[in-house]
Amino acid sequence: MNDDSHYVIVGAGSAGCALAYRLVQAGRTVTMIEFGGTDFGPFIQMPGALSYPMNMPRYDWGYRSQPEPHLGGRSLATPRGKVLGGSSSINGMVFVRGHASDFDHWASIGAAGWSYADVLPYFRRMETWHGGTSPWRGDSGPLHITRGSRLNPLFDAFIAAGQQAGWPATSDYNGEQQEGFGPMEATIWQGRRWSAANAYLRPAMATGRLRLIRGLAQRVVFDGDRAVGVEIQRGRATKVVRARSEVILSASSINTPKLLMLSGIGPADHLRDQGIAVRADRPGVGANLQDHLEVYIQYRASQPITLYSYYNMWGKGRVGAEWLLRRTGLGASNQFESCGFIRSSDKVDYPDIQYHFLPLAVRYDGKSAVKGHGFQAHVGPMRSKSRGHVRLASADPAAAPEIRFDYMSHPDDWAEFRACIRLTRKIFDQPAFDPYREAEIQPGPDVQSDAEIDAFIREHAESAYHPCGTARIGATDDEAAVVDPELRVIGVSGLRVADSSVFPRITNGNLNAPSIMVGEKAADHVLGQGMLESGLPAAGTSEAAE
């Protein structure tokens, strides 16, 4: 390969890997810049070990939010993948496209060409779905989507309890009907985490048209107002990686706005305060930061059937050995095998609450509020009205940015979270859980009033690790927009953004799937060869398998 490629992509994460794959498939050359190291090893590749990599400095940038004033001044962890595959290599592997109305909302506020009818062909193109036959799903894409075996009876008890509480069942929440309770899907294939690195990056590198360079991206390099490369730091050396056609930032909703601001693109006053020359005054860079908060509703189990039996040195050793030898057993699952998407009231147009069910009472950091058998639901509102920002803490590219979510700053968030907790209790109180439910652990039976629930939320709400929105799509005359509907950065040329930064509003569920979709669709915008044909299948045509 020549020293310069057609395209330079910053970030080997979910969107960047998908984008690179499609560009090299089309015969283009790509140089990808990634600061993180290899994703080889059981902590990443074994689905059951998911709590480890997001807590390891080797794989995670280690970011934390500023003290959150509405959460008692707590600083919350903000993991982002610092490894090949990005956050798809350290996440929980849950696969959720989002609701159709999410994308229709994007289109209605200036993201022309991003309605659900527009993006559905890209969701289909990117996946090989192993859940049945459906015109809503793909069957030949690089990303394998599977379902857990649900051998533990608690998984089906959760689905049954949701229906007993009055909500529908859904055979495929990523298909025609998101609303309801049903099996959860995951980016797991043949017992292995099927990250963007496994699905996209390695096949792209095998073509010989993708060059991977390790280094810290410091700024985008311009010739006039056109992006022509990226300055990187490798050890003590600084070099410029040049692009013959375009530079594309896929560095995450935290690092992408940071890199834009270091390059002089962002809120002018903030850039001047940091001593950075203003190239394009875009107030939306770093603004519009959104996330999902959640709490864990935990119950003690009356039967010894939970994962707690394996939550010790010997149990973990047995699970790990079986996975290493056969890629089977508990280690081959992320243990999120059933879920729910519900509306908090009949006044809500489409689901605004999401559930992850887990047959263990534990937190993502591995700490437990109780010793013994238990189970839990992760629950939180999907469309918080609170907004935060990412700003530079320093003009030093090696410095962590300032991350301020301003969680729970909108009064509606509190009412929605109270509804989450009360509705979850209603679900766990159903007959389906009678054989398994002993007593509520968290919040605890004494937490009943609005004030008591609010205090619990303030102390215990945690991020679901879904930051997005910091370089949003919009019309070119929208001062708050950062990229146009073709993902071109407004105010300069030769520069695009393709990652979860561009989401105008957070989607209904986990963000890995829509982030990969952005990379897939970005490739067609970059190539300029036309988009996939827009359209939706006829209603009632899904045949998902249980």
Could you tell me the two tokens for 180? 């309801």
What single-letter amino acid sits at 447? V
Could you tell me the two tokens for 336? 């999120």
What whole-number distance in Å separates Cα of residue 277 and Cα of residue 225? 13
What are the Cα distances from residue 213, in Å, to 30, 33, 144, 196? Answer: 11, 5, 27, 17
What's the alpha-carbon Rg for the chain, to the nearest Å? 22
Nearest Cα to 47, choosing from 439, 332, 393, 356? 332
Q: What are the backbone dihedrals phi and psi of residue 277, each rounded to the nearest 5 degrees, phi first?
A: -65, 135
Could you tell me the two tokens for 518? 């952005």
- Contact between 419 and 345 (Cβ < 8 Å): yes
The arrangement of secondary structure in 149-183+293-381+409-460, i.e. its CATH architecture, is 2-Layer Sandwich (3.30)
- Contact between 297 and 377 (Cβ < 8 Å): yes
Nearest Cα to 86, choosing from 526, 365, 499? 499
Neighbour count for residue 135 (Cβ, 10 Å):
15
Residues contacting residue 314 through CB under 8 Å, at least 6 positions apart? none
Q: Provide the pLDDT for residue 1.
A: 46
Could you tell me the two tokens for 26? 């089309």
Task: Collect the ranges in the chain with pLDDT lower than 50.
Answer: 1
Tokens 């001062």 sit on residue? 479
What whole-number distance in Å separates Cα of residue 428 and Cα of residue 430? 5
Please say whether the dihedral angle defined by the alpha carbons of residues 68, 71, 73 and 77, taken in this order, is positive or negative: negative
Please say whether the dihedral angle defined by the alpha carbons of residues 350, 469, 254 and 5, taken in this order, is positive or negative: positive
What are the Cα distances from residue 285, in Å, to 288, 304, 440, 476? Answer: 8, 51, 43, 14
- With residue 227 as reference, give the H or E element that holds it: strand 226-234
- Contact between 543 and 134 (Cβ < 8 Å): yes
- Contact between 79 and 63 (Cβ < 8 Å): yes
What are the Cα distances from residue 487, in Å, to 126, 150, 218, 286, 482? Answer: 19, 40, 21, 16, 9
What whole-number distance in Å separates Cα of residue 344 and Cα of residue 423? 8
Could you tell me the two tokens for 374? 């238990």
What whole-number distance in Å separates Cα of residue 253 and Cα of residue 246? 20
| Residue extents of the structural domains in the chain | 149-183+293-381+409-460
Which segments of 447-498 does DSSP mark as H helices, in order? 450-460
Q: Name beta bridge partners: 442.
A: 298
Strands 127-129, 143-147: parallel, antiparallel or unpaired by DSSP?
Answer: parallel
Q: Provide the pLDDT for residue 312.
A: 86
Half-sphere exposure (CA, 13 Å, Cβ side) for 106? 28
For residue 309, the Cα-to-chain-centroid distance in whole angstroms is 30
- With residue 241 as reference, give the H or E element that holds it: strand 237-249
What whole-number distance in Å separates Cα of residue 322 and Cα of residue 325? 5
Neighbour count for residue 387 (Cβ, 10 Å):
16
What single-letter amino acid sits at 462? E
What whole-number distance in Å separates Cα of residue 176 and Cα of residue 162? 19
466 is an active site residue: yes
What single-letter amino acid sits at 456? F
Nearest Cα to 473, choosing from 182, 111, 195? 111
- Contact between 400 and 393 (Cβ < 8 Å): yes
Strands 338-342, 265-266: parallel, antiparallel or unpaired by DSSP?
Answer: unpaired
What single-letter amino acid sits at 424? T
Nearest Cα to 10, choosing from 46, 36, 38, 28? 36
Residues contacting residue 279 through CB under 8 Å, at least 6 positions apart? 222, 225, 263, 264, 265, 491, 492
- Contact between 506 and 292 (Cβ < 8 Å): yes
